[in-house]
Amino acid sequence: MADTNPRVRTENQVPEYLARIGGEDRRGREWRRVAAARLWIDAPETATKLERGELTAEETPSAVSEPLLGKCAVVGYEDMRAAARSAATAAPSWVRRDRETCFLLGPTFRARLIHARQRLRRLLISEGCPGRIADWQLNTLTRLFDAESCSFYRELGRTEIALESGHGFLQYQPDGVVCVDPPANAPCFSTTMAVLYSLMAGNGVVVRIPRSAPLSTTLLLREIVVPALRELGGPDELVNFCCASPGEALRAWLDEPCVNDIFYQGGSEKGLRLQAECLKRGKKALLELSGNDTVLVWHDADVERVADTLCEAFWASGQLCIAPNKAVVHPRALPSLTRALIPRMRRMRPGYPEDEETVLTPVPAEHSRTDRAEAPEEDGEVLVGGERLDVTGAPDPHGTFLEPTITRVNGLDRASCLSTVREETFRPLLVLAIPHDNDEAEMLEEMIGFVNDNSYGLRNSVWTRSRSVAERFVRGVHNGALIKVNRSHINFTPFLPTHGGTGLSCGVYGEAHYLVLKTCHLQAVEMDEELRTHT
């Protein structure tokens, strides 16, 4: 037997994170045991045995003080259907409240988040989210759900119209029950936005908590969202959350008649199949799928700021769907840009999630290959990176990290043929596509065409000091839901849509999405003027 670790909590002391259905706790049919991210980095085989129950927390030979973070209750098909019915039963009492109360949920949540921030942050880090990225996520949530932002969202939901004889208005009515299936790589952050926007719109919600990092998401819903809702007099049954397999959850929601919307975040292929199935079942599919974003760098760009933005491609080792995957760079900007970019990139090293400078995360084996074969010498080159590393940054063919990689490809026609340009890579790779030197106006049009020639479409950016170039980019780029001009590519901005995209990123109905409106349907009202003014 392995040496025991007397410093850790015993099995009986490990926290249990229960499912919540109909305002009541459920223990589920089994437990999902969650090992600390640090243990996965140091001793993946031990972490696997611990999660499978082949080792107890006390038997785990590790320097990690808490190798077993907790146990999350896992439910099945029938429980997921019951959760949807609970949300459907509770939603009418919530939507009958005045709209102002519903939209107070955002600031109420925000106050509780600020109070619980450090505890949630510690759990996010323990589950593998680097502290720097956790801070970015938590700071974003506090900005998006302040009183001013939520007042703006409320005003979007109603527009008054003076008619020739009488009065009219447009209003958004809630769809009813919104089921949320967040991504495995950022479930807590993504769940928060989906749940709060849906609740503020007047819906009931059900969340499938991913098995990959279930504890922080459960903590946020149980100890921040539900108490905030309760503070405003909302019914406990309105918010339901359960850890479950994605297949069982989606099948349950598709089969349950009371489910109106399914919000899915994940790969494009699976998401588009889900959209087709939702249409057959009379349900609305809200999709947030793969990304393959582009940054255009003109010759007059501030390369120091551009370099900072392009390094966002490596945050979470390129596993953020809104991270830029490629940059189309004016040939005259390339030398100074690479001088600014490569030193920054070299400072981005592997590390444990609690290390304050860490932004890289382990990369699954299926995303680990390098791309030297796709950048032959006559058409481009690997400028830097491409090695597999251990947590110290040393080369290791079996390491869990990938070194950030920058490749250069000469010619946009050549670049368009590469899978690393055409598809989401989901690893720390940035492709610099360089057009052939040409007439400036023709080159700009070619570069804009390159941005538009993208099957995906979440965000696109341009960096230039020229107002005319920026305006041409904004007019000419029809790909994507959000355009950034001389701004951080990944940051969220209050008042602007947080979701949406075009093409493979959001399906045939894709555009910029305010989820607070997307989980509703537009309704028009015409009213006699005499009745309107009658008290």
Task: Write out the catalytic residue numbers.
Answer: 288
For residue 369, what are its two tokens?
Answer: 């290959």
CA distance 286 to 274: 10
CA distance 36 to 331: 46
CA angle 471, 473, 476 (to 5 degrees): 105
For residues 78 and 209, is the Cβ–Cβ distance under 8 A? no
CA distance 285 to 301: 39
For residues 435 and 400, is the Cβ–Cβ distance under 8 A? no
CA distance 504 to 82: 32
For residue 201, what are its two tokens?
Answer: 């719109």
105 alpha-carbon distance from chain centroid:
21
CA distance 460 to 309: 12
How many residues does this entry show for the chain?
Answer: 535
For residues 215 and 125, is the Cβ–Cβ distance under 8 A? no
Q: Which of 486, 479, 475 is nearest to 502 (CA)?
A: 479
CA distance 391 to 515: 38
